[in-house]
Structure 1
């Protein structure tokens, strides 16, 4: 396989059915591609009780200023394969598109970066510094045995990164639209209300917890948390489920739960946001409008998962090098954004400045996930130019 051809590289990666948490041959394929380019490869496996073991990938070559390309080879399930116009792991090319699970999110970004590095090697360009690939198989899963542990493993070996580029799909409509220079924080929780089960015809003998859950939902969502900041859109809370586990129509449930997620700006920390959520829940609990003549409901709030803090990258040479490369190839001045969901950049930012740029994300996680061949070639050229610009900026600083 020609490693300078991002189409061939991506097709090979797509043919590996690496649905989280399975490696599926993707890391082996990647190893076979980069070792001939001079990379040393290690594949540590991390474990934690209650979660699947995850094989990870770290490859590095060169010395000097250290740029880390980060990403993941794991993909989400295909869903009903009957919804696909081609087998999801066949890597079919049709009408200028390459189809397959992971084409956009994010094996395409990995393929473009590998091809960019291979082209530089083929041109015989002198080594500008150290390049590494930090690839996990756990980004689409719990994100416990992946990037966060791999970063600590690298740091324990005495390695340090000067900057990182994450190849997630960042562009909303066309290649060149957007660079991510930060991410909103994320906080999830569940509110549980205890009531008293009973017959719907005898409500005075029961206590419907849904009355209080409705009040909690209203308090959580009605009042804006903020109006956004200079770098971030407004903080937003969404209720993702309300549940009683009650299939009967003639039974008042004894318990009800509400689950929510908040994507928040740099106006908040996870702790300050937790305080605000608890304030709103308590106001709903004691408000009384839904429980006339009854004592305030018994409510418990449980925080779910690991909260992610918001972050903003402040590295002029990193952002400028990537922006100039995008503009050179696409003719666009990319928007610098903090919108969208979370990514493994939330872990990398604790080790070095990090930016994100990859393909157009419109088909990620969908049936018939696909990438235009032209976009894959253009992304490879962007990464190639970015490597030259960033290493040149580091050399200028050193001089």
Structure 2
């Protein structure tokens, strides 16, 4: 049996802070090649990505994950070396232990053991990127674009991100909300604060606009999604002088939206509100938008049922089908095939002393092993 804990520890010891590969994908490529997978590096713009395949025929079950991690911060703040992979009191410590080198190790070792013990009538594809924690444009997207050009196809895919809030097995993700960021600039006329009538202060207009946006209920939620949310994340004027009315003021807000909205409908609403505030206050307001993902849903059905049953059989917990949380690379995979996320408890991800319960890594491998068995027994559904 291939040990997922040992592989997780080896991966943690690779300092793969985005965009550095850190040796993590090189390690995985060697492990997968030895097990009989054909591999290909799909690096783009300095980002390392790995594609591996076992088998030539369908059905094809895919796994997706990432080995890049966020910076660890000062090592002095950690109880152990953040890249030391120390095990203490049943916990494995290290940057990426939770998010998500353990998930990658679990599905890689599950796949290796599965093809060794019960080679399936079908294929297994493993996609691992080094750009999930960064911009994401040269990671999973690069792999999927190469697959399309090369005629490679996956029928269903599992993403190994942490999905459980507190208890192993309690939640899987069948979709995600979209994410949009709005950059707002209010323009006025600079002047002396003692003579405000000679200036046009953009700040009150910007504040009025932000208050309206923050107080607006976007929706009450939909069948599979929680209510959409809007958060003002920064307000910047850059004015160090207390006696000067500035000419510009800036704000940024982020909207996490469900399937009641599209990026265009939200842009239209924000621009309408901005125009209204600008007219009322006699200022100019400009908006700029970036969209990092749209909402999506893998409809509950045979595939989600299979994943849920495997989780319940391994953990004794029937998982909730959720669309909560932030974005993940599932937002790219969903354009290629149905996708479900199933992984560990994610309480410590991105934190100092990030860690994972050692036993949970074995459980996650067990979940993936059950999914592999049931999927190919069902002929790929």
**TM (normalized to structure 1)?**
0.93
Aligned-partner Cα distance in 2 for 1:128–1:73: 29
Specify the alignment match of 1:355 in structure 2. 340
Closer, same or farther in 2 for the Cα pair 1:95/1:307, shift >3 Å?
A: closer
- 1:332 CA drift (Å): 0.8
Specify the alignment match of 1:190 in structure 2. 183
- Bigger Cα displacement from structure 2, 3-12 vs 157-166: 3-12
Specify the alignment match of 2:82 in structure 1. 88
How is 1:197-216 mapped onto 2 (pairs within 5 angstroms)? Answer: 197-216=190-209
Specify the alignment match of 1:230 in structure 2. 223
Deviations 1:256-296 (A, max 9, x none): 0110110001011111111111122222223x3xx4xxxx2
Q: Does 1:280 find its partner at 2:266?
A: no
Specify the alignment match of 1:146 in structure 2. 139
Given that residues 270 and 307 in structure 1 are in contact (C-alpha distance below 8 angstroms), is that contact kept between their aligned partners in structure 2? Answer: no
Q: Does 1:37 find its partner at 2:41?
A: no
Aligned-partner Cα distance in 2 for 1:236–1:156: 37
Specify the alignment match of 1:22 in structure 2. 20
- 1:94 CA drift (Å): 0.3
Which of the numbers 35, 43, 48 marks the counterpart of 1:55? 48
How is 1:190-339 mapped onto 2 (pairs within 5 angstroms)? Answer: 190-286=183-279, 288=280, 291=281, 296-304=282-290, 306-314=291-299, 316-339=301-324
* Count of matched residue positions in the alignment of Structure 1 and Structure 2: 380
- 1:315 CA drift (Å): 5.5
Specify the alignment match of 1:50 in structure 2. none
Structure 1, unaligned stretches of length 5 or more? Answer: 48-52
Deviations 1:137-160 (A, max 9, x none): 111001111111210101110011
Aligned-partner Cα distance in 1 for 2:12–2:242: 48
Aligned-partner Cα distance in 1 for 2:271–2:145: 33
Given that residues 104 and 359 in structure 1 are in contact (C-alpha distance below 8 angstroms), is that contact kept between their aligned partners in structure 2? Answer: yes
Structure 2, unaligned stretches of length 5 or more? Answer: none
- 1:119 CA drift (Å): 2.3
How is 1:70-109 mapped onto 2 (pairs within 5 angstroms)? Answer: 70-109=64-103
Stretches of 4+ aligned residues off by more than 4 angstroms: none
Given that residues 317 and 393 in structure 1 are in contact (C-alpha distance below 8 angstroms), is that contact kept between their aligned partners in structure 2? Answer: no
**TM (normalized to structure 2)?**
0.97
Aligned-partner Cα distance in 1 for 2:300–2:158: 12
